[in-house]
Amino acid sequence: VLAVDDDALVLANTRAMLEDLGHSVMVATSGEQALQQLEQTPRVDLVLTDHAMPKMTGTELARRIARLRPGLP
């Protein structure tokens, strides 16, 4: 799972919750950082993103991910 949020506290809590559920979690603090991680990491099963982030919203990130990795939820 790749979790994306510009709020460090929210991101830490999201990561902890997902790890408690048994998931391996990578984190990114921006849309750009998330895209870089996706380019460098071949195996990501899910992206969970905040919507309201500066520079790139979650919707914009989702659109770019759809072009980079079609079908990635």
Q: For position 71, what pLDDT does the model report?
A: 93
Residue 38, CB-side half-sphere exposure with 13 Å CA sphere: 25
The string of pLDDT tens digits covering residues 38-56 is: 999 989 999 999 999 999 9
Q: Do residues 5 and 50 touch, judged by C-beta distance below 8 A?
A: yes
Amino acid 68 reads: L
Bridge partners for 48 per DSSP: 3
Helix/strand/coil percentages in the chain, nearest 5:
45, 10, 40
pLDDT number for residue 62: 97
Angle of helix 58-68 relative to helix 31-40, nearest 10 degrees, comes to 20
- For the segment 6-42, what is each residue's pLDDT rounded down to a tens digit? 999 999 999 999 999 999 999 999 999 999 999 999 8
Prediction pTM value: 0.92
